[in-house]
Amino acid sequence: MISKASAQPSPGADTSGDSYLPRHGNGGYRVRHYDLELDYKIGPNRLSASAAITAEATQALSRFTLDFGDFRINRVLVNGKPAKYLRRAHKLQVKPAKSLALGSEFLVEVHYVGNPRPLPGLWGDIGWDELTDGSLVASQPVGAPSWFPCNDHPADKATYRVALTTSSPYLVAVTGNLVSRYTRASTTQWIFERPEPTPTYLMSVQIGRYDDIVLASGGVPQRAAVPPRLRRAFSRDFGRQGQIMDSLQRLFGPYPFGEYVIVVTDDDLDDPIEAQGMSIFGANHVDGRRTHERLVVHELAHQWFGNSLTVADWRHIWLNEGFATYAEWLWSEESGGQSAHVWAKTWHARMKAKPADLRLADPGMARMFDERVYKRGGLLLHALRCTVGDAVFFPLVKAWAMENRHGLVTTAAFVALAERFAGRSLGGFFDAWLDSPALPPLPLA
């Protein structure tokens, strides 16, 4: 049972201290780098792997824990020496041969094998999942341990190297820059590096029979992995991708990663999936009529809000979803569709018809992905724009993205920045929009 109560990590504790998901993530150390060697057989869904985790002890440690799924562990080493370990639920408890001093850097190696599968949770099954022909990883918020041992909390951002070997007919896309690819007989090894600080839930693996397409030329490198049967419809639905990227860069500042990759699976997906430098859509999101272009914008906006700027605690999730929602409305305004104010009025009316029992600043664990978090977050941003004016609002948004690039963010930090740009207190405004369950009236445009 996951407790909603906040907690501070205690020595060697298997808790992150997160106010919503304290059992995901661990105390006592910070991860600096993950080096993953993965060998995956698609038919039997069999993963043989090793993870080398470089971390720093934030307190003296006689033991520590990692979040990890259901795999057979062959051995665990700490600083090259065998360590004792114990499995409890989805925690791997490790006792090194020698205690770790405060501030010391240490290397954990876990060698494991098994059949990766999603982890069950409040939001359904999350993590590594099989497709009809291939695999995908959708880890938000707690699915990363379904394929590698980790400190599964958004505040513990690290760099990555991922080497994945699988059958040669399949294209592999991992959240990172492709640095090399080697084909030997019937298998190919793909090696990716993720140099930017990245939380575990935003690391993803995509495997399928995809065509590799250049999505947009000039500026940010943009590619897509698409099933051959969907290429024609895809070219229409994502035909404005370059313009969308240019628009969001004007609004939010330079794109925060080296490239942007879109994957379209050959299976349907309930919702698109965000990952670091990558967005994943289902075949059902491609129809050749741009029906789902708002989702294209939404997922790209997450590269700034959610990925580069990562919430320090899950209760601040409106900072991810509110900005991505408002980006949809801004793109509509810029591309000749309805104005952001018309969208705001429409959604304000819809939200007003729903129960007034959600506080945006603290929606509760069960409501992290409630539609009201998304739409009320977008409404807050539009109301702020109406309150302070465009001349303050847009520089504020760009500064928020630029000053916190690759960092951690909180609601309090956003409020402070907004007041700095406005040059006055906005306490009444934010109290009404963030802390009151009642939906405030929408200001005039």
Q: What CATH number does the domain containing 296 carry?
A: 3.30.2010.30
C-alpha 347/C-alpha 353 separation (Å) is 10
The whole domain housing 132 covers 29-205
* Token pair 């859509």: residue: 281
CB neighbour class for 441 (10 Å; exposed up to 12, middle 13-18, buried from 19): exposed
Active-site annotation holder among 40, 160, 326, 374: 374
Share above pLDDT 70 across residues of the chain, in percent, rounded to a whole number: 97
Question: Can you say whether the dihedral through the CA atoms of 191, 194, 195, 201 is positive or negative?
Answer: negative
Last residue of a domain, one of 205, 222, 245: 205
Structure tokens of 104? 């010391």
Task: Tell me if 126 sits within 8 A of 145, measured CB to CB.
Answer: no
Structure tokens of 263? 């994957």
Residues 295 and 341 in one domain: no
H helix intervals, 185-286:
231-237, 241-252
Sequence-ordered list of residues with C-beta below 8 angstroms from that of 264, at least 6 positions apart, any chain: 210, 224, 225, 226, 227, 230, 234, 280, 281, 282, 283, 285, 286
pLDDT tier, 6 (very low <50, low <70, confident <90, very high otherwise) = very low
Over residues 138-159, the mean pLDDT reads 96
Q: Is 196 a catalytic residue?
A: no
Last residue of a domain, one of 281, 303, 325: 303
Tell me how many domains the chain contains: 3
Q: What CATH number does the domain containing 61 carry?
A: 2.60.40.1730
pLDDT for residue 9 is more than 80:
no
Q: Which residues are annotated as a binding site?
A: 298, 302, 321
pLDDT tier, 13 (very low <50, low <70, confident <90, very high otherwise) = low
pLDDT of amino acid 10:
40
Over residues 389-394, the mean pLDDT reads 98
Residues 293 and 403 in one domain: no
Residues 49 and 189 in one domain: yes
Residues 378 and 235 in one domain: no
Q: Which residues pair with 136 in a beta bridge?
A: 129, 206
Does residue 1 belong to any structural domain of this protein?
Answer: no
Active-site annotation holder among 196, 274, 293, 299: 299
pLDDT of amino acid 389:
97
Residues 368 and 335 in one domain: yes
pTM for this predicted structure: 0.94
pLDDT tier, 11 (very low <50, low <70, confident <90, very high otherwise) = very low
Q: Which residues pair with 225 in a beta bridge?
A: 212, 263
C-alpha 170/C-alpha 307 separation (Å) is 27
Q: Is 374 a catalytic residue?
A: yes
C-alpha 124/C-alpha 131 separation (Å) is 16
Residues 291 and 353 in one domain: no
Does residue 80 belong to any structural domain of this protein?
Answer: yes
Concatenating the DSSP letter of every residue in 249-297 gives HHHH-S-SSS-EEEEE-SS--SS-EEETTEEEE-GGG--SS-TTHHHHH
Residues 200 and 215 in one domain: no
Does residue 340 belong to any structural domain of this protein?
Answer: yes
Reported as a single tens digit per residue, the pLDDT across 299-344 is 999 999 999 999 999 999 999 999 999 999 999 999 999 999 999 9
Does residue 11 belong to any structural domain of this protein?
Answer: no
C-alpha 279/C-alpha 291 separation (Å) is 17
Over residues 116-144, the mean pLDDT reads 93
Reported as a single tens digit per residue, the pLDDT across 98-111 is 999 999 999 999 99
Over residues 427-443, the mean pLDDT reads 96
pLDDT for residue 136 is more than 70:
yes
Q: What CATH number does the domain containing 368 carry?
A: 1.10.390.10
pLDDT of amino acid 4:
29
DSSP secondary structure letter of residue 439: P
Length of the chain: 445
Pairing relation of β-strands 134-138 and 124-131?
antiparallel
Last residue of a domain, one of 303, 326, 357: 303
Residues 382 and 319 in one domain: yes
Q: Which residues are annotated as a binding site for Zn(2+)?
A: 298, 302, 321
The residue that leads in pLDDT, 24 or 150, is 150
Does residue 10 belong to any structural domain of this protein?
Answer: no
Does residue 146 belong to any structural domain of this protein?
Answer: yes
Question: Can you say whether the dihedral through the CA atoms of 311, 315, 316, 319 is positive or negative?
Answer: positive
